[in-house]
Structures are given as C-alpha cells and as structure tokens.
Amino acid sequence: MTQLPAAQTTPAGGDNPKALYGGAGTRRVTVRDLALAKERGERWPMLTAYDAMTASVFDEAGIPVLLVGDSMGNCHLGFDSTVPVTMDHMTMLAAAVVRGTSRALIVGDLTFGSYQEGPVQALRSATRLVKEAGVGAVKLEGGERSLPQTETIVQAGIPVMAHLGLTPQSVNTLGHRVQGRGEEAAQQLIRDAKAAQNAGAFAVVLELVPAEVAAEVTRSLHIPVIGIGAGPDTDAQVLVWTDMVGLTGGKVPRFTKQYMNLRQALGDAARAYAEEVVGGAFPAEEHTFH
Ligand code: KIV
C-alpha cells in the first residue's frame, strides 16, 4: 500500500489468538486458516470491497476475507447487473483492494464470460487476476457445471471459492428467486456443493437458499460454507458493503442488514458543504493561506 495508513492489528477479542476475527494475527489470512476455523467451529464475517480506501477500513476492522465481487457492477460501476463487468474492471479494482490491505485474504470474482468457455479460458482469467491484481483466491459461479474449470484452476495452484444457489451472472435465467426450494432442487444444490468440494474448492458461497438447506450443506461439507440470504447456520456470512452501510439506493434485499445510513450521512455532508460555499462560510481563515 503506498499512500494509505498501514492496517492496524485486529481487535483483541475472544480467548483464541488464532481466531480469524478478533485474534492476534497480522499476516495475510490464507485458505488454510479458513479450513482450520471450520475445524474449530468458528464463525467469521466476509464483506465485499471495490476500492483501496474502503478495503483498508475493513482490514483495520479485522474482517478476515474481502471479496472483490462482480457486484461492483451494481454497487460501484453503475450497471444494473453483474453481467457487463469485465476482467479489466475486476483486475483494476482488485489490485486497488490488495494495495489497501495487509491482512485480509482477497478473493476476486471471475466475471461473466471469462470462464464459461472452458478450463483453458478459466485458467487464463484466474492467472491474470493473481498475477496482475495480486488476489489470493478467485471465485466462480456453479458447482457441477463449472467442475472442469474449478479442477484446472485448483491444479494450477490457485484457490477457488465456488458460488451456488442464486448465481447473479445467470440473472437472465434464474431471476432473483430463492434457489434450492423443494426436495429435487435441494438435492441438486447438495450435489453441486459436494462437486465443488471434490474438485478442490476451498469454500462455497450459498446465496438466497432456504436456511434448512444451507444448514444441511454446511454439515455435509468439510470446507467452509459462506451464506448470504442463507440463514444463520453457515460457517460464515457475507454482505455487500454498500448494502451493509445503507449506501445502496432503492430497494435492498430482505436478507441484508443496514448497520448505518451512509447514504443519508453523505448527502447531509454534501448539503452542509454546499450551503457553506454558497453562503461564504467555507473556506474560513483556518483553511486559508497568506
Ligand atoms: O459479487 C458479489 O458481491 C458476490 C456476493 C454477493 C457473494 O458474489
């Protein structure tokens, strides 16, 4: 990181100095640390991040895993879905997140169209993200359908996180409905999760699935399961950061929780500044050079 302050140590907390959140660790979190947390039965938080400064705040707060999600399409780049996001967008923003952090494991998404052609294309995209952005792992959507891609990337030494349930890159097929409802769909979800694990994935994201199904997947896998809209019984939770702080405009999904109203606070600050400029109160003497 060049201009931003170095990340502080994670907050003291819990009895375990090795805890992913609240432990004493200062080096980068690895996929092995996540595997050990699953063995210990420890729950942990993940957030998205799309820029160096926000990422540095979350890193200083001790969030152990940051996802440079293709949700940047909706939350950062002004698109109405993740579909238009390219590997050029992803590589540039993932590199910024890596530069802004010193402890969190940074996971970068493989964007729509960057891995669906097959394992060779997938490996090329994953390699680019590791070499040019410096991420520690990549995420791709799909279980059984992305098996050859996952196997090839893992065999090349790049950790893969799989994303199942509602997979936003398939919005034109799936819409925004809860996935894995009904016996057949639940069994397919479990098969997909096991397929991802067998292919070497180090973790699975489950998005918008019934809590009971997510709990069963979590029990069935030895790798960590990260839920978003998947109830309380997964090993970890992820939220899109702009949803989490109330910056996202319009309607947000029911499964997100807003911990502050940043949209209101930013708007208030902008209006206060504008009024002081218009009224002549800013800049004052202390902001002025002679
Ligand atoms: O792109 C993203 O932010 C994601 C999370 C919703 C898991 O994939």
Annotated binding site: 70-71, 109, 139, 141
Three-state SS at 84: coil
Helices (H) and strands (E) in the chain, counts: 11, 8
CA geometry: angle 263, 269, 275, nearest 5 deg: 135
Tens digits of per-residue pLDDT, 39-60? 999 999 999 999 999 999 999 9
Annotated binding site for Mg(2+): 70, 109, 141
CB 1 within 8 A of CB 52: yes
CB 202 within 8 A of CB 35: yes
Domains in the chain: ranges and CATH: 31-259 (3.20.20.60), 261-290 (no CATH)
**d(Cα 289, Cα 122) in Å, to the nearest integer?**
55
Banded model confidence at residue 12, pLDDT cuts 50, 70, 90:
very low
Tens digits of per-residue pLDDT, 121-138? 999 999 999 999 999 999
CA dihedral in degrees (222, 223, 228, 229; nearest 10)?
A: -20
* Annotation marks residue 207 as catalytic: yes
Our answer on whether the CB atom of 165 is closer than 6 Å to any ligand 1 atom is: no
Tens digits of per-residue pLDDT, 132-186? 999 999 999 999 999 999 999 999 999 999 999 999 998 888 878 888 999 999 9
Which residues 6+ apart lie within 8 Å of 57 measured at CB? none
Residue appearing with tokens 């001790």: 62
Q: Which of the following is catalytic: 207, 212, 276, 285?
A: 207
Model confidence at 78: pLDDT above 50: yes
Our answer on whether the CB atom of 229 is closer than 6 Å to any ligand 1 atom is: no
3-state secondary structure 133-187: HCCCEEEEECCHHHHHHHHHHHHCCCCEEEEEECCHHHHHHHCCCCCCCCHHHHH
Average pLDDT over residues 267-279: 98
pLDDT computed for residue 192 by the predictor: 97
For ligand 1, mutation pick of 54, 74, 206, 207 (most atoms within 8 Å of CB):
207
Sign of CA dihedral 134, 24, 66, 212: positive
CA dihedral in degrees (95, 35, 64, 100; nearest 10)?
A: -20
Our answer on whether the CB atom of 109 is closer than 6 Å to any ligand 1 atom is: yes
Q: How far is CA 208 from each of CA 7, 12, 174, 226, rounded to the nearest angstrom?
A: 33, 32, 12, 11
Our answer on whether the CB atom of 208 is closer than 6 Å to any ligand 1 atom is: no
Q: What is the β-pairing status of strands 105-109 and 65-68? A: parallel
Banded model confidence at residue 14, pLDDT cuts 50, 70, 90:
low
